[in-house]
């Protein structure tokens, strides 16, 4: 019997906000949290880790506040994080020193829409 993924109202808000990050830009876990009324960047990361709608919900476009990549698909290093970097590069996101996303790529989302 197939298992149905249950999406919580919180996850729905996170995914809706994440969809607003345009190609070639990134936001931070903190700013995404602010956009959905959540003060926990960790809770945002947990919701994105469970994202069943990728790439329509582009969770690869969310990075840490210091512009480092953070995690991807539940991993904080290795192949999945390399894949996140390559997905962002393919969208035109550039990286500076210490493999940080260039500041010009950052976008701060407005509150819920």
CA distance 23 to 66: 20
**Biggest alpha carbon–alpha carbon distance for the chain:** 49
- What is the pLDDT averaged over residues 86-110? 95
Q: Which residues 6+ apart lie within 8 Å of 78 measured at CB?
A: none
pTM of the model: 0.91
**What CATH number does the domain located at 9-105 have?**
1.10.10.10
59 noted as active-site residue: yes
CA distance 70 to 84: 9
Q: What is the pLDDT of residues 75-94, one digit of tens each?
A: 888 999 999 999 999 999 99
pLDDT recorded at residue 3:
54
Domain spans, the chain:
9-105
pLDDT recorded at residue 22:
97
Q: What is the pLDDT of residues 22-78, one digit of tens each?
A: 999 999 999 999 999 999 999 999 999 999 999 999 999 999 999 999 989 888 889
pLDDT recorded at residue 1:
43
pLDDT recorded at residue 76:
86
Residue 111: is its pLDDT beyond 90?
Answer: no
Given 21, 59, 93, 109, which residue is catalytic? 59
Write the DSSP assignment of 14-73 as a string of letters.
Answer: HHHHHTTS-TT-BEEHHHHHHHTT---HHHHHHHHHT-TTTTTS-GGGEE-TTS----BT
Instruction: Provide the pLDDT confidence category of residue 112 given band limits of 50, 70 and 90.
Output: low
């Amino acid at each position: 019997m197939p298992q149905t993924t249950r999406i919580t109202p919180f996850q729905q808000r996170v995914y809706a906000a994440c969809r607003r990050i345009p190609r070639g830009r990134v936001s931070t876990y903190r700013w995404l949290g602010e956009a959905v009324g959540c003060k926990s960047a960790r809770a945002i990361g947990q919701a994105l880790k469970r994202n069943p709608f990728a790439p329509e919900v582009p969770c690869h476009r969310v990075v840490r506040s210091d512009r480092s990549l953070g995690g991807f698909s539940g991993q904080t290093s290795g192949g999945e994080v390399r894949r996140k970097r390559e997905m962002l590069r393919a969208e035109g996101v550039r990286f500076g020193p210490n493999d940080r996303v260039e500041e010009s790529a950052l976008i701060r989302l407005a509150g819920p829409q």
